[in-house]
Structure 1
Amino acid sequence: MTDNQPAVAIRGVTKRFHTDRGEDVTALHDVNLTIDAHDFITVVGQSGCGKTTLLRMLAGFDKPTEGEILIDGRPVAGPSPERGVVFQKPQLYPWLNVRRNVEFGLRMQGVDAVRRRHVANEYLSMVGLSDAADRKPYELSGGMQQRAQIARVLAADPAVVLMDEPFGALDALTRENLQVELRRIWQEKRKTVFFITHSVDEAIFLGTRVVVMSAHPGTVLMDIPVDVPRDPEHPEDIDAVRDTEEFRTLETRISAAIHA
């Protein structure tokens, strides 16, 4: 990647679906967005505005009807290990223990067993699951399963991490804890992240930029840098961040745009 080349470029993307009733439905219209390396982009908007449709095209699961999506200057032609996807519901293999789930992507890449175990242990420690490494997914709580899914995606070392409301199904306390964990991991690893959420609070706390999508058909309504002060000694103190005037101002502005 050159200094001037974005990690992700979405250019004039429109997506139409043909329904069983013979109707053409436009989910996205003329979406343009540039994401630089190491950005943490959070995306908010009303239900049905095309957020997940856009993520699926970034992942290579679907193709645009018009326009193009480039990752590191190359068109997205299909799924790739360069793009890791964290779904709302954990996608873990029930017959593998947690460590082997985390190792799975590395195994597919041909990484040797010693290196796989080392990397898996690193990420399990990072998400606080070292003590659960030998357990099966069904022995874990929902929050722990989501931690394992995040560890598995990050362990495969993708250039871009795509996250589709990964904390949406969790209780409030678990969700808040995982927000703090994810922000801390991002600070350490500096991955490029595209994160969908319905929570304006979550979007501001996690993101370096918040993208607001318009209602159906979806397009980029606002692209707002997040400039919220954080205590250098405790940058992930979520309550302190939320209590700042800058946070509250952004929250009001974004909420008004979504519901306008």
Structure 2
Amino acid sequence: MTGLADKGSSRPSDVEIRHVVKRFHTDRGEDVTALDDVNFTIRQHDFITVVGRSGCGKTTLLNMLAGFERPTEGEILVGGEPVLKPSPKRGVVFQKPQLYPWLNVRRNVEFGMKVQGVDAATRTRTAKEYLHIVGLSDAADRKPYELSGGMQQRAQIARVLAADPDIVLMDEPFGALDALTRENLQVELRRIWQERRKTVFFITHSVDEAIFLGTRVIVLSSHPGTVLMDIPVDIPRDPNHPEDIEAVRATREYRDLVARVDAAIHQ
């Protein structure tokens, strides 16, 4: 288990999840515990991937990190300050792309910056940069409905990154995509993270995806969710081809880690 930092030593993007409990009151008058005594720290520039069975509270935890919900007990701190509401410093990439259909792709990417009061010239320059990063330069003037699902997801990622959050929260963003598109976006996201060094919290049902993308993998137990495993991913990567999924999968370290994570999920 990763130790908790003192408030005084927290960096701007450090996230401390301290003894978090989340309960919901059902229509039948019952109290249901979704998360129970969750503790871990996300360090600046970490790429945290979270796996666990359906209903273990992964999305609930992300919603609390985003500020959409509050813990029933415990606290979530960013840079030593409690998370009480949403913030532009925490960008969210949802499972289904959230794009404005009346705006073209470039305007969608600019939208968050416009809300923040960024001047037009900077918005245009930044949108162009991130559209190039996600491979959508040629689609800048197209409307979202003219794009494939994978392209829409890339546009959503570009919009979140262009707004320059300290932390990127991603809720199974590739879950609904076909296998080839999913693999391509995994490679692109890993490359973007290496270039931009954002702090990422990424939910997935795929152990393979969690290990390929993450610097740490967190396994949540079945209902109620608590941390079963929090382990670093230290898999050798070819420095000239760090995105090579097949080479990563072929390592003994990768196979061993898959086995450990699978065992934790199914125990």
Q: TM-score, normalised by structure 2?
A: 0.96
Runs ≥4 residues deviating over 3 A? none
Aligned with residue 189 of structure 1, among 188, 192, 196 = 196
| CA deviations over 1:144-202 (Å, ceiling 9, x no partner) | 00000000000000011000000000000000000000000000000000000000000
Q: Distance in 1 between matches of 2:112 and 2:243?
A: 29
Which residue number in structure 2 is paired with residue 87 of structure 1? 94
Report the aligned-residue RMSD. Answer: 1.2
Does structure 1 retain, via aligned residues, the 8 Å contact 2:90–2:165? yes
Aligned with residue 132 of structure 1, among 135, 139, 149 = 139
Aligned with residue 4 of structure 1, among 5, 9, 14 = 9
Which residue number in structure 2 is paired with residue 218 of structure 1? 225
Q: Does 1:176 find its partner at 2:183?
A: yes
Aligned-partner residue type, residue 222 of structure 1: M
Which residue number in structure 2 is paired with residue 68 of structure 1? 75
Which residue number in structure 2 is paired with residue 203 of structure 1? 210
1:131-150 equivalent positions in 2, closer than 5 A: 131-150=138-157
Aligned with residue 20 of structure 1, among 19, 27, 37 = 27
Which residue number in structure 2 is paired with residue 163 of structure 1? 170
Q: Distance in 2 between matches of 1:257 and 1:39?
A: 22
Q: Distance in 1 between matches of 2:25 and 2:72?
A: 11
Aligned-partner residue type, residue 256 of structure 1: A
Secondary structure of 1:85's match?
Answer: strand
1:228-239 equivalent positions in 2, closer than 5 A: 228-239=235-246
| CA deviations over 1:61-110 (Å, ceiling 9, x no partner) | 00000000001111001011010000000000000000000000000111
Which residue number in structure 2 is paired with residue 99 of structure 1? 106
Aligned-partner residue type, residue 196 of structure 2: K
Secondary structure of 2:231's match?
Answer: strand
Structure 1, unpaired ranges of 5+: none
| CA deviations over 1:219-254 (Å, ceiling 9, x no partner) | 011001001000011111111011111001000110
Secondary structure of 1:61's match?
Answer: coil
| CA deviations over 1:41-72 (Å, ceiling 9, x no partner) | 00000000000000000000000000000011
Q: Distance in 1 between matches of 2:10 and 2:122?
A: 32
Q: Distance in 1 between matches of 2:189 and 2:249?
A: 17
Shift of 1:133: 0.2
% same residue: 80
Aligned with residue 247 of structure 1, among 221, 241, 254 = 254
Q: Does 1:44 find its partner at 2:33?
A: no
Does structure 1 retain, via aligned residues, the 8 Å contact 2:8–2:80? no
Which residue number in structure 2 is paired with residue 151 of structure 1? 158
Structure 2, unpaired ranges of 5+: 1-6
Secondary structure of 2:9's match?
Answer: coil
Aligned-partner residue type, residue 108 of structure 2: N
Aligned with residue 53 of structure 1, among 56, 60, 64 = 60
**Of 232-241 and 180-189, the range deviating more from structure 2:** 232-241
Secondary structure of 1:79's match?
Answer: coil
Q: TM-score, normalised by structure 1?
A: 0.98
Shift of 1:218: 0.2
Secondary structure of 1:210's match?
Answer: strand
